Amino acid sequence: MATKCGQQPLRLAVLDMAGTTIADDGLVERAFAEAFASQGVPAGSPAHDAMMERARLTMGTARISVFNDLLPRDQAARANSMFESAYDRIIAESGVAAVAGAETAIGELRDAGMQVCLTTGFARRTQNRILESLGWMGLADLSLCPDDAGRGRPFPDMILTAVLALDLPDVREVLVVGDSSADMLAGRRAGSRAVVGVLTGAHREDALRAAGADDVVPSIREVPALVRAAAPVS
């Protein structure tokens, strides 16, 4: 994350949830598998395996977009509803945990004078359930899902909505952090100054860099140090 003399500081961190600040541990894939099975695509079948592979490749995008790409529209809507219900049940049964150090990292970013927005490809109901389970309501300045912005990742809508909602003057004051290619693409398309990939979720370093990551770090824990290193030089 290169720094230039006179460059404006980073004022907003747009952070993905599942895989970036929230540990996934395969929960999303389990919910996808149940959703596909509910539409007559049983686990172990070639069609199911192909759909799961597509879901893995498109992690980070709005879930309804994934289903729309794979199923007729009426089935896609039903599968999306099943996905949300399955994920809610799974986290109620298994619990949900933050990525190690995520809450501390968010606090450090805010202590550095940055606002924080948490984004997700889940529906609002599921996003709120996750935040409530962790006691994270109010941890960030803003939380957004695709329904709040118009379109999910890889479109830049949630990032641009955060810029408007938090009254930033320039999208070049935004840092985007995520674990998927869709996160990186959204950051680039929004015109964010810095786009950082983490290796705690969906995609590996080569995919993150190919999608536009400026830096790739092991986890969200390393991000505050990157921000400090990128502070403007007078």
6: in domain: no
Boundary (domain end) residue, out of 40, 66, 94? 94
Report the candidate in 200, 199, 173 with the shortest Cα–Cα distance to residue 187.
173
Distance CA 198, CA 108 (A): 17
Residue type for position 51: M
Boundary (domain end) residue, out of 74, 94, 114? 94
pLDDT of residue 1: 61
In tens, the pLDDT along 165-183 reads 999 999 999 999 999 999 9
Same domain, 225 and 141: yes
146 close to 62: Cβ distance less than 8 angstroms: yes
Q: Show Cβ contacts of residue 129 under 8 Å, excluding neighbours closer than 6 positions.
A: 88, 91
Q: Is the pLDDT of residue 3 over 70?
A: no
pLDDT of residue 25: 80
Distance CA 106, CA 189 (A): 24
Q: How far is CA 216 from the centre of its chain?
A: 15
Q: For residue 5, what pLDDT band results from cuts at 50, 70 and 90?
A: very low
79 close to 35: Cβ distance less than 8 angstroms: yes
Residue type for position 6: G
Same domain, 40 and 16: no
202: in domain: yes
Distance CA 19, CA 220 (A): 10
Q: Where are the beta strands (DSSP E) in 9-146?
A: 12-16, 115-119, 142-144
Same domain, 120 and 186: yes
Q: How far is CA 123 from the centre of its chain?
A: 12
Same domain, 110 and 75: no
Same domain, 105 and 87: no
10 close to 232: Cβ distance less than 8 angstroms: no
Structural domain that includes position 82: 27-94
Q: For residue 56, what pLDDT band results from cuts at 50, 70 and 90?
A: confident
pLDDT of residue 55: 85
The whole-chain average pLDDT of the chain stands at: 90
Same domain, 75 and 110: no
Boundary (domain end) residue, out of 94, 126, 144? 94
Q: Is the pLDDT of residue 144 over 50?
A: yes
Same domain, 111 and 189: yes
